[in-house]
Each structure stands twice: as structure tokens, then as C-alpha cells.
Structure 1
Amino acid sequence: MSLFARQPALNAHRWMGIFLGGLLFLVCLSGTLVVFNQEFERWEQADIPEFNGVTPVAVGRAVEQFVKRYPQATEHYHVVFPSSGIPRLVVENDHKAWFANHQGRLLEAEQFPWSKMLVDMHYYLHLPSTWGC
């Protein structure tokens, strides 16, 4: 086999290495940044008040307001209590999520497109969407 016959194979091997190296770099970089996902979510909606505790009455009020606002059928309702990671009260169903203040009044919808893009990029670059969610 002459040198000219091997050149296309070597070029293909070189470009494949560059492509896979770039893909691996994106997976590693996004994985490093995903470690700070909760902090990024807090930065994206910095005007939401933060607090350490909430009363059962406030949680009940927030859930009640949320159900009235979104009466469509859903299989799940979730309440995310303030914690050290995200010191905010969140009420959500399968379709929407809203922040509430410490008195249980709904404030605004949860919106963190950059953080979601970062997490999705990390998950779905190395796992199919059926495995990575």
C-alpha cells in the first residue's frame, strides 16, 4: 500500500480525534459547571426573596393559590422547601413551577433557561435523552 492510499485514512483519523476531543471537552466543562447549578439558578432570578424556614400555614396557602391558578390535570404536585442549596419556597406541578414568599403568596414563575441549557447539554451530550433524564 502506497503512502497516497493511506493519507485519506490518516486525515479521517485526525478529524475524528479532533471532533471527539471537542465533544469530550464540552462534556467535562459542562459537568464542572453543573456542580454549581443551584447557584446559577439563584443568580438567574436574583430578585426572589430567600429565607430559611416556612410555616405550614404559608405552605398550605401557596399550594392553594397554585392549584387555583393552574387547575389543569396533573399527576403530581411538589413543594420544595427552603434549604441551604436553594433557600426559597417553590410550588410546582408537572407543567409549571412558581416561587412563593415566606407568607405563602405566589411571586413569579421559575425561569432559569441558562442553567437548564447547561444541565441538558451535560446530560444529553453523553447519554440519550431516555437515559439522561
Structure 2
Amino acid sequence: MKTLVAYFTIKGRTEEALEFYEESFNGKTTFVQRFSETPYQVSDSYKNKIAHAEFKAENIHFYISDGFEKEDVNYGNGIGITINFDNPVEHKSVFEKLKVDGNITSDFFETTIETNLVCVLDKFGIHWYLNYIKV
């Protein structure tokens, strides 16, 4: 069996991002390792940044990090994360949270495959495709 797990680098804002996603998805950070707990050589000001963390909420699971201190992070539009919902109220609720300080890249629309889709670029540069599948 194989499992795909997304890995986000939120340069310098991972702690804030985790709090945001915990609220948005009603989830929990299940693991946090700071650079001070690793063998990586970083400046004193970067030691408390997150080297690796794990987030879980129902069937949502991803890893996240502040990234290496001297690593550049470029955000693009080539990758997005899709979350399928079977509850329209939850679909709308998650959308309302993710759009705060973000951008709606495509407002709610009916697709050709009987779903209701909305696309959001959140304040951390992550593209979310929130899809309500009509049963």
C-alpha cells in the first residue's frame, strides 16, 4: 500500500499556520520537532523554528516545516490540495476559515461531474480545492 502525504514549507510562519489549520479543519498537530532538537546547524534566532511537524484532522494528513534557514521558498500555482466533502455545511465552514486573508481563486461553481467546487489560495500560499460531492 502507498500513501501520498503533502509536505508544506511555510517559511518562518509554520507555528501560525498550524494554529490556523487546527481551527480551519478542526484538527490537531500531532508532532513537532524544532531545529534545536535536530543536528542541523542554525542560528540562535532560528533554533525555535519548526524543522518538522505533522497535522491530522479526520482524513486530512500533512507534514509542515519552516524549512531550512537559508532555503528560499517559492510559491506557485502548479500544485493544489483537494479536499472532498460529503457535507455542504462543513464544506462552506472550511471555506469561510481558509479564505481569511487569502484569495478566492474561483468562487463556488457547479462542475460537470455533479460537484460544487470552490478554490482558495490561503494566506500561507497554499492552494485548496474544496469540493462538495453531491451524493
TM-score, normalised to structure 2, is 0.23
**Larger RCO: Structure 1 or Structure 2 (Cα < 8 Å, ≥ 6 residues apart)?**
1
From the CA coordinates, give the structure whose radius of gyration is larger.
1
